[in-house]
Amino acid sequence: MNHSGNRHWRRGLLALLLAVLGGHSWAQHAWGTYHWARTANPFTLQVGDNMSADWKTYLALSTQDWNNPTAFAASSTPLTVKVVGGRSSKRTCSMVTGTTQVCNGKYGFNGWLGLASINISGGSHITQGSAKMNDSYFNLATYNNPFEKRHVVCQEVAHTFGLDHQSEDGSSLNTCMDYFSNTGGNAGNPASTTPNAHDFEELTLIYAHLDSTTTLAAGSSSASAADIDISDDPRSWGVLVRQSANGRSSVYERENRNGSKTVTHVYWTPEAALRCRACDHRFEVHSQP
């Protein structure tokens, strides 16, 4: 091998190492380049609370956490959450322009615990979001504990910030953006119920630039979006574009008539994932666990 060939080889090895080391925690921790457009940092995202009393507690705790980076050894955050009155209904959790709407309801034994959707315009700008927690499961003893509820609501709301998971293999990185399960023998384990420092680092990266326009609602004057919501029918999620190896995490995308795109992240139960990890779980028959 001549000198220049050797250099190329070493450069290739370095690139591979960087991909292996950096790929998991950095490159894949955002959904893509999805972010709210805004003209200044820090900015405020209105989160509409459509939740019942028990869930309001967990939503409040999680949003406090996302607003408090220094409690998690991070220096700052570009994104401040403001919980406001909900403008949707629990059942549909229809999106409202410029906001995230958060809902809980008995959505059925359909295999998912939590679901988050964002609508994207211009390729990367989030225009609205919604997050749903499925009480059909959360009312069962297995899931009905404070830590599991807090883990899921913390994660689903943060998907509407543009954040993705730090890990999907079930291990705990002590962030709600992982797939640790606070159930069974870990029902009393508070691990992974809050953000960690790396989530705030990632938010800072996602929001490092400024935009010339804003997609955030100011005040309460925004109008409801028309026909781009997803419905109870999981076919409305569009096509499956990504699924974790253990089958617990899936991302779906749908192209909309108005040129926007709706991206939906689904948090499957361990039972739904176990039967066939590579299957598209929305087309499987699920029953009460």
Closest approach, Cβ 101 to Zn ion, in A, equals 17
Mask of contacts with Zn ion, 249-268, x by CB under 5 A?
Answer: ----------------x-x-
- Enumerate residues 6+ apart whose C-beta is below 8 A from 95: 88, 101, 117, 119, 128, 129, 130, 224, 225, 228, 229
- How far is it, in rounded angstroms, from Cα 289 to Cα 281? 15
Closest approach, Cβ 14 to Zn ion, in A, equals 30
Segment 202 to 241, residues that bind Zn ion, using CB under 5 A: 211
Pairing of strands 239-243, 125-134: unpaired
Q: Which stretch binds Zn ion (CB under 5 A): 20-28, 72-80, 84-92, 155-163?
A: 155-163
Using CB positions, name the residue nearest to Zn ion: 211
Which tokens in the block code for residue 269?
Answer: 């139960």
Closest approach, Cβ 103 to Zn ion, in A, equals 16
Q: For 36, list phi and psi in degrees, rounded to 5.
A: -75, 135
271 binds Zn ion (CB under 5 A): no
Closest approach, Cβ 209 to Zn ion, in A, equals 6
Nearer to Zn ion, 41 or 256 (CB): 41
Phi-psi region of 228 (alpha: psi -120 to 50; beta: other; left: phi over 0): alpha
- How far is it, in rounded angstroms, from Cα 48 to Cα 53? 14
